[in-house]
Structure 1
Amino acid sequence: MRKPARRRRLALTSLIDVIFLLLLFFMLSSTFTRFAEVELAADGAGGAASGAAKPFFLRLSPAGLDLNGTPVALDALKSRLGEEAPVVLVSLAEAVTAQRLTDLLVALRAVPGVQVTVLERS
């Protein structure tokens, strides 16, 4: 006659260890950074520039940056635009990446009161 098979108890200690290691792994491999935001505002059709301020024309290309037809570095852009709420029209050349446009918008955000309008390609 056979003895009835005795059930073994399930050891939860090793399961808890595995869960703790997984939790630790996911916590250490995650990033808790906040992504930067660039505010964009859409201008209505036929919107005119406010006041008598002459707008600046900025042409962005993969190779460089032109302000009113004159090449300018991204670092010197703030000093070239002045301090009194400039209106900037941004035109994009072919093959300009979104990262390059974002870098330009971040640099323009440092100018106080700047009004940026990104022109669409025709």
Structure 2
Amino acid sequence: MTPLIDVIFLLLLFFMLSSTFSRFAEIELTQAAAGSGAGTAPADRVFLQLGPDRLVLNGASITLDDLLTQVETGQVLISLDADTSAQRLVDVLVPLRGRDGLTVTVLE
């Protein structure tokens, strides 16, 4: 009976040390839905195409730093390529988050 209790404590210790108790950060996304009309459209609307190694703003290739300086207010519509990773999307969304007067919509 004593060796069984030792094994149980060792397993408990192993699982407690190997698990993580931290919460992952969440980013709130809004998706464009068909038929949901908004009352007024923002004056400054830009279209951003996001790929694994490209970033195109209104048809012109830019870098992430240029995106942050060019987009201050208005609405950003983000279109994703099929092979774009979630990390790449997060890399673009995090700097845009929390800006006053800026809304970001991820298109399907």
TM tier, smaller: 0.7 to 0.9
Distance 1:101 1:115 in 2: 15
The answer to whether the 8 A contact 2:32-2:107 is kept is no
The answer to whether the 8 A contact 1:74-1:107 is kept is no
Q: CA deviation at 1:52?
A: 4.9
The answer to whether the 8 A contact 1:87-1:116 is kept is yes
Instruction: Identify which of 5, 11, 16 aligns with 1:22.
Output: 11
Q: CA deviation at 1:48?
A: 4.4
Q: Give TM-score scaled by structure 2 length.
A: 0.76
Distance 1:50 1:76 in 2: 28
Residue aligned with 1:20, SS: helix
* Structure 1 residues 28 and 113, CA gap change in structure 2 (3 angstroms): farther
Q: Mapping of 1:1-122 within 5 angstroms?
A: 12-44=1-33, 45=35, 47-48=37-38, 50=40, 52-82=42-72, 84=73, 86-120=74-108
Identity over the aligned pairs, expressed in percent? 54
Aligned length in residues:
107
Distance 2:96 2:39 in 1: 17
What's the RMSD between the two structures over aligned residues?
2.4
| Aligned residue identity for 2:5 | I
- Choose 71-80 or 87-96, whichever is displaced more: 71-80
Q: CA deviation at 1:42?
A: 3.4
Q: Give TM-score scaled by structure 1 length.
A: 0.69
Structure ranking higher on relative contact order (CA contacts 8 Å, 6+ apart): 2
1:50-98 Cα deviation digits (max 9, x unpaired) = 455220111112221122223222244322212x4x2101122342233
Structure 1: gaps spanning 5 or more residues: 1-11
Residue aligned with 1:117, SS: strand
Structure 2: gaps spanning 5 or more residues: none
Structure 1 or 2: more helix by fraction: 2
